[in-house]
Amino acid sequence: MNNIYPENSIILAPLSGYTDLPYRNSARRFGCRFCFTEMIDAGSLAYGNAKTTRLVDRGPGEKWLGVQLVGSDHGRIRRAVEILNEHDFDVLDFNLGCPVPKVAKKGAGAVLGQNLDEALRCFEIIKKKSRHRLCAKIRILDENDPEPTLKLAKGLADAGAEALTVHGRVRSKFYSGPVYFDMIAAVRAALDIQVIANGGVNGAESYAEIREKTACDVVMVARGAMGNPWLFRELADPENYVPPTSDELADELERHIREMIDYYGEALGLRVARKIILDYLRGRGFQGKVKNAVSFLNKTEDFAEFMGLVREGPSGRYRQWLKNCPDADRRLEI
C-alpha cells in the first residue's frame, strides 16, 4: 500500500482549540497541504455534542484533511468511529500522546499510550470499525530505553496502523525540554510503515536537525506554527524564504480573525480569537499596550480599532534587536 504522505511532507498537527477551519485556511495559504482538524473526543462525539460534531466540518477548498480521535472507553470509541464513517476525510489518527490533564484523567491520550495492551485493544476497535486509512500518534515512553516505545510502535503497526507520528518527549515533559531524536530514530529503523517525526520544530534550523537526527523525511509541526503560518513556506524553501513584513503580518492576522468571526459569529469568534491574536504578536516586538488590548475585543468595531494599533508595527527596540539576531525564529522583515 502507498504511503499516506509523500516524501518531504510537512504536516500541521491536530491542535485542540486551534486547528479549526479558519486556522487551516491560514496554514494552507502558505503552502500547507496536510492539515488535521482539532483533536476530537470520542465521548463528546458519541453523545452528539454539536460543538464536537462541527469540528469535522471540511472546507470546500480542502483537498486533504485528517481527523484525530482521542478516547479510552471502548463503546464510545466504537460509536465515534461509526459517526466518523459518515464524514469525508482522508485519514483517521488515534491519539496516544496528548499529555493534558483533562485527557489524562479519562485514561486517554498519553496515559493510554503507557498502557500497551489497552492501547492496542482500543486501536483494534478502530481498525475493525473504520472505513478510513488509519494512523496513530504517540510519545516516547522512556528517554533512555527505546524498548517500551518500540513495543507500542510495533504493536500499532501490527494492528494496522499505516503511519505513526512520534513526539520525542515523554508525557511528563509536555511540550518543553529536549527532543530525544534517537528514540524517534529507533522507531524509524524498526518499522516498515511510515514514521513521522514531531517535536520542537519552529524554524528551518530545528527542521533540518529533526530530519537529520531521526532519518524521517516527513515532519509534523505543532506549536511552532501558532501565529506563524509562514513557517510552512520557510520549511519548504529555507534558502529563498523571506520573512513577512509588518504589513504582511497585519494583513494575514486580520484575514484570519475575520474568517473566525464569519465562522463562529461576532461574540464567540472574537473570544476564541484572542489566543490566536496573541500568538501572531508573540516574539515580534509589539508593545504591551497592543497585547493588553486583546482582552477587550468584543465587537467587530473593537477589532478594527485594534488592527490600527497592530499596523503601527513593532517597537523601535525590536528593530534594533533584529540587527543583532537576524536569524531569529518568527522574525519580521524590517
Q: Which helix (H) or strand (E) holds 197?
A: strand 194-198
Helix (H) or strand (E) holding 13: none
For residue 69 the three cell numbers come to 480521535
* Alpha helices (H) in 159-198, listed in sequence order: 181-190
**CA angle, 81 then 83 then 86, to 5°:** 110
Which residue in 94, 26, 89, 14 sits closest to 58, CA to CA? 89
Secondary element (H or E) of residue 121: helix 116-129
Cell 493510554 locates to: 112
Torsion of CA 117, 145, 135, 128, to 10 degrees: -20
Q: Of 32, 35, 98, 122, which is the active-site residue?
A: 98
Give 102: exposed, middle or buried? Use CB within 10 Å, 0-12, 13-18, 19+. Answer: exposed
Q: CA dist 262 to 78, 255, 321, Å? A: 34, 11, 37
Using alpha carbons, select from 167, 158, 67, 164 the residue that is nearest to residue 110. Answer: 167
Which pairs count as long-range contacts for 142-145, CB under 8 Å and 24+ apart, including other chains?
Answer: 142/170, 142/183, 143/170, 143/180, 143/183
Q: Is 98 annotated as catalytic? A: yes
Residue bearing cell 529533526: 210
Q: Which helix or strand (DSSP H or E) is residue 39 part of? A: strand 34-41
Q: For residues 314 and 250, give the distance between their C-alpha atoms in angstroms, rounded to a whole number.
A: 11
Which set of grid coordinates corresponds to residue 183? 528514540
User: What are the residue numbers of the active site?
Assistant: 98
